Amino acid sequence: MKPAPFAYHRPTTLDDAMRLLAELAPQEGRVLAGGQSLAPMMAFRLARPAHLIDINAVAGLDGLAVRDGALRVGACVRHADFHRPVKDGALGVMLATVARHIAHYPIRLRGTFCGSLAHADPAAEWCVVAVTLDAELMAVSVKGERLIAAESFFRGAMETALEPEELLSETRLPVLSGDTRFGFAEFSRRAGDYAQAMALAVLHLDGAVIAAPRIGLGGVEAAPRRIAAAEEILQGEAPAAEVFQAAAGAAAAAIEPLQDPQTDAQYRRELAEAMVYRALMRACAPGGAEA
């Protein structure tokens, strides 16, 4: 399982990286960041890029800071950078919670947040986080830059809105207000495996009722998304098991389930329902955010 031959490039500036990408993307050139997803595909020769543009030496891509109300995650920020909450408040705790579900420790030390989004595996945790929070993704190239809304970024399994010569240089996650509650639930065969279903619930409690609910589902369809049908049921209701159940049921019914030998359509829906329910229970548990 040795990779096919490729030429290797290691730019040190973003300009060089974009220039190389513009020149080489049409010749089967790809970006190498963490490599934890790309390298295995190359080992199986499912991916045979003729050029690899290693961005690990590019200056300025490891930024992880809040500016203008958004947490900006640079292209080379690793999953492990989120292990300890990167900021106080719900967002930091949420990211730390989710990070623990990603693969395993050594993979988290190298794999990148943005790389995961660009790879767009339906069962990748950051993808469902991005769509649920309405993140903004900055795509840069020699032609300039554009900000893509998460909701239009994921086109299908392993398919994004990125053009071949574009690099995802930064993801912007909105900082969540102090009273934001969240719950995350994932089901996989073993700890660290790709999720067969995962749900992220984010909401506020306005007095005694749910406000601004967001329900994101990942791992159950070709691309992660928010489920409006579930959110509508929750809006304005007092948190209660029956309400969560109804929302979960609506989410399960709303999806076009991915099927594989381990997971037929009916089972996928059952998993989706269970994860939405659990995410909501955790979001509304006394004490706020999910631990």
Partner 1 sequence: MSDSVDVTLNVNGRDHLLRLEPRRTLLDAIREECGLTGTHMGCEHGVCGACTVLVNGKPTRACLMFAVQAQGAAIRTIDGLAAGDALHPVQRAFIAHHGVQCGFCTPGFLMLAAGVLEHDPDISDDELLEVLSSNLCRCTGYQNIVAAVRAAIAEWRGGAA
Partner 2 sequence: MSAKAKASAGRVFGRSVPRLEDGPLVRGRGRFVGDIAFPHQLHMRVVRSPYAHALLRAVDVSAALAAPGVVSVWTTADIADLPPIDFRDPANEALRPYRQPLLARDKLRYVGEPVAAVFATDPYLAEDAADLVAIEAEELPPVLDAETAPSSFAPGLATEALVLREGYGDVNAAFPSAHAIVALDLDIGRHSGVPLETRGALARYDASRDVLELYGAAKVPHRNRDSLMRMFARTAAGIVLKEGNTGGGFGIRGELYPEDFLVCLAAMRLERPVKWIEDRRENLMAANHSRQQRHHVRAAVDSDGRVLALDDEFYLDQGAYVRTHGARVLEMTISMLPGPYRIPAYRACGHFRLTNKTPAATYRAPGRYEGSFVRERLLDAVADRLGLDRIEIRRRNLITRAEMPFSRPLSALGTEVVYDSGDYALLLDKALARIGWGTLKDELSRRRSTGELVGAGLAIFVDKGGLGPADGTRVSVDTTGAVELVTGGSNVGQGFATVMAQICADTLGVDYRRVRVVYGQTDRIAYGIGAHASRASVMTGGAAHAATLKLRAKALEMAAALLQAAPDELDILDGVVSHRDRPGGPSITLGEVARHLAPDSPTLGDRDPGLDAEGWFRASHMTYPYGVQIAVVRVDGDTGAVTVERYLVAYDIGRAINPMLVEGQLVGGVVQGLGGALYEEFRYDERGEPLAVTFADYLMPTVREIPPIEVLLTEDGPSPLNPLGIKSAGGGGITPVGAVIAAAIDDAIGLPGGVTRLPATPQRVKALLRANRQSRAAE
Sites of contact with partner 1 (CB under 8 A): 1-8, 10, 32, 35-36, 39-40, 42-44, 52, 54, 56, 100, 104-107, 109-110, 191-192
Residue 69 interaction partner, one of partner 1, partner 2, none, beta carbon < 5-8 Å per kind = none
Min CB(237)–partner 1 separation in Å: 35
Residues β-bridged to residue 202: 182, 214
When asked if residue 187 is in the footprint of partner 2 (CB under 8 A), the reply is yes
**How far are the Cα atoms of 72, 133, 205, 261 from residue 181, in angstroms, in the given order?**
21, 12, 8, 36
- Sequence-distant (≥ 6) Cβ neighbours of residue 262 within 8 angstroms: 189, 196
When asked if residue 241 is in the footprint of partner 2 (CB under 8 A), the reply is no
When asked if residue 44 is in the footprint of partner 2 (CB under 8 A), the reply is yes
**How far are the Cα atoms of 166, 204, 211, 277, 284 from residue 179, in angstroms, in the given order?**
37, 6, 11, 21, 12
Min CB(277)–partner 1 separation in Å: 25
**How far are the Cα atoms of 89, 107, 226, 250 from residue 229, in angstroms, in the given order?**
28, 35, 9, 6
CA–CA distance, 51 with 210 (Å, rounded to integer):
50
For partner 2, the binding residue among 106, 259, 264, 265 (CB under 8 A) is 264
When asked if residue 8 is in the footprint of partner 2 (CB under 8 A), the reply is no
Nearer to partner 1, 39 or 254 (CB): 39
Min CB(5)–partner 1 separation in Å: 4
Nearer to partner 2, 30 or 268 (CB): 268
Residues 155-184 that bind partner 2 (CB under 8 A): none
Nearer to partner 2, 209 or 274 (CB): 274
Min CB(203)–partner 2 separation in Å: 21
CA–CA distance, 190 with 87 (Å, rounded to integer):
30
Nearer to partner 1, 48 or 155 (CB): 48
- Residue 188 is given by DSSP the state -
Strands 167-174 and 197-206: unpaired
Min CB(153)–partner 1 separation in Å: 25
Q: How far apart are the first and last CA of the chain?
A: 40
Q: What's the one-letter identity of residue 146?
A: R
For partner 2, the binding residue among 113, 277, 282, 283 (CB under 8 A) is 277
Give the residue ranges of DSSP H helices in 142-218: 150-153
Positions in the binding site for partner 2 (CB under 8 A): 1-2, 4-5, 44-45, 187, 189-194, 261-264, 267, 270-271, 273-274, 277-278
